[in-house]
Structure 1
Amino acid sequence: MKKISLLLIGLIAMVFSTQIKAQETQELEDLNYFKYVVIPIQYQFQSEENEFLINSLTKHLFNEENFTTYMDVESKPKDLTFNRCLALFAEVKSESESFFSLNTRLELILKDCNNKVIFKSEGRSKLKDYKEAYHDALKDAFTPLQSFNYEYNGKNSYDSSKFEEEEQKSPIQKEPKKETKSFEETVKEKLIGTYSLFNEEYSISKIEAGYILTNTATAEKKAFINVTSNNSLLFNSDTINGTLVINDDGDLEVEYFNNASGKVEKATLYRVE
């Protein structure tokens, strides 16, 4: 009788485990219906924008898994502007902010435009340093995505003809910039110019959505710089997503998460003129 009970328990556990795996697989497959991931510049548990570079790291980790990402403060492509349902909206929740907690637990959530949860994952870390713990837990939360080959399948595509009609009827109304004029002028004056990095020359110029960093010799666009509503600067390229600070010498210091080393590092573009 005891053996039969144990066998029955084992079968129930096996069926339950299979159902959970099937649900997780379906959640991952559903990600292919979405073209973009939008990441907020500040999560609810943070006291300031991009605190501990958690938001920049979120963007970086999604990019590593072949998702097309935008921070919510960045200029968006036209199809996403007219149809926000093309995107998933990322949230990160912290469940353990006490210093005396045994570990740090973060929850990564992806919701659609109707606020429905499409994907959810949890990450943990036993590190005590806040910054290192948050980064470690966030990377852990991305583990399920690492074994999933995301590829947008186009089944959530936007009707281009409708887009053209809407664009003619109602052009995009630009939201007024939240930065004060004096701050914009200061940033523009300090950013625009020529810089040197690893014996290569780069130039920064103003564009409608922010600023662009270009290789002077090849004219190749290397990075975009955006001003946030909190008057901070975001630096985004194919390999680096972080924050930018203009030091007293006019040099640009970029702080970012290095996925190869697993650490937060800095790179400096030195002002030439």
Structure 2
Amino acid sequence: MKKYLLLFALLFSSVVFSQNVTDYKYIIVSSKFSFSKEVNKYNLNALTKSVLEKQGYEVYYDTDILPQDLAENRCKALYADMLENNNLLVTKIKLQLKDCKNQVVYVSGEGTSREKEYAKAYVQAFREVGKSLSVLKSNPKQDISEKEIEMKMEMESTVAATVFFAQPIPNGFQLVDTTPKVVMKLFKTSASNFYIAQKDSLQGVVFNKNNQWYFEYYQNDKLVSEKMEIKF
């Protein structure tokens, strides 16, 4: 009987979490997660932001310029942090969302990896975390004014001048120009139209938003967003 009550409690709490989460329009992602002293370590912060945006939320970093209504009332947002619970053999992470009163309203499923290389391990573990975020899918009421849109975070944006062609490789694609020269590699994730990207020494993400491809990465602690034209 106790087992059934425990199961019911877990299911009920999960439903309550998802209901609370759908009440929010904004999510603020920490630029440095609590287990890290580095900005966007292992690209986890950028991955988290992009996945949450795909779930219908307006997502900002805690270092960004915020829309006026959110700047005046921080309780309109949830606050995202990645929790780490590693041991000697396994990398373990969970995504946690808190409200402005520091109350936990959602905790994702745990992502794990036995990969020895940390950068790969955290990305692999995040893929598992991403799968559990489907319960966050929602369509918060949109009442964004033009002024609020103009106040979104400042980021460098360049328009793509070259068409890149995607060639299949194991676990993803390589992008070539008309030379042809390989300029970037894209690695698949659990989300469609969302890739982990490697361009020379740059690591970032490539994703499709409103039928437009973007390459986003950090440079000198500043988020850079580049439009891309990709032919698959």
TM-score, length-scaled by structure 2: 0.62
Shift of 1:135: 1.7
Which structure: greater helix fraction? 1
Partner of 1:79: 69
Of residues 52, 55, 65, the one that matches 2:45 is: 55
**Cα distance change, pair 85–196 in 1 and its aligned pair in 2 (3 A):** same
Partner of 2:93: 106
Partner of 2:35: 45
- RMSD over aligned CA atoms reads 3.9
Shift of 1:126: 2.1
Residue identity over aligned pairs, in percent, reads: 24
Give yes or no for contact 2:97–2:104 (8 Å, CA) kept in 1.
Answer: yes
Give yes or no for contact 2:111–2:129 (8 Å, CA) kept in 1.
Answer: yes
> Structure 1 stretches of 5 or more lacking a match?
1-10, 161-171, 173-190, 200-233, 247-253, 257-266, 269-273
Partner of 2:217: 243
**Cα distance change, pair 137–255 in 1 and its aligned pair in 2 (3 A):** farther
Give yes or no for contact 2:81–2:95 (8 Å, CA) kept in 1.
Answer: yes
Greater than 3 Å deviation, 4+ residue runs: 191-195, 234-242
Query: Could you say which structure has the larger radius of gyration?
Result: 1
Partner of 1:150: 138
Q: Is 1:197 aligned with 2:162?
A: yes
Give yes or no for contact 2:31–2:62 (8 Å, CA) kept in 1.
Answer: yes
Which structure: greater strand fraction? 2
Q: Deviations over 1:140-195 (max 9, x none)?
A: 223332145323268xx9xx9xxxxxxxxxxx9xxxxxxxxxxxxxxxxxx79876
For 1:113-262, what aligned pairs fall within 5 Å after superposition? 113-121=100-108, 122-152=110-140, 196-198=161-163, 238=209, 240=214, 242-245=216-219
**Cα distance change, pair 108–148 in 1 and its aligned pair in 2 (3 A):** closer
Amino acid at match of 2:8: T
Amino acid at match of 2:96: I
Amino acid at match of 2:161: S
Give yes or no for contact 2:157–2:225 (8 Å, CA) kept in 1.
Answer: no
Of residues 23, 27, 42, the one that matches 1:33 is: 23
Give the secondary-structure state (helix, strand or coil) at the position aligned to 2:37.
coil
Give the secondary-structure state (helix, strand or coil) at the position aligned to 2:161.
strand
Alpha-carbon separation, structure 1, partners of 2:141 and 2:80? 20
**Cα distance change, pair 83–235 in 1 and its aligned pair in 2 (3 A):** farther
Q: Deviations over 1:196-221 (max 9, x none)?
A: 2317xxxxxxxxxxxxxxxxxxxxxx
Give the secondary-structure state (helix, strand or coil) at the position aligned to 2:89.
coil
> Structure 2 stretches of 5 or more lacking a match?
146-150, 165-203
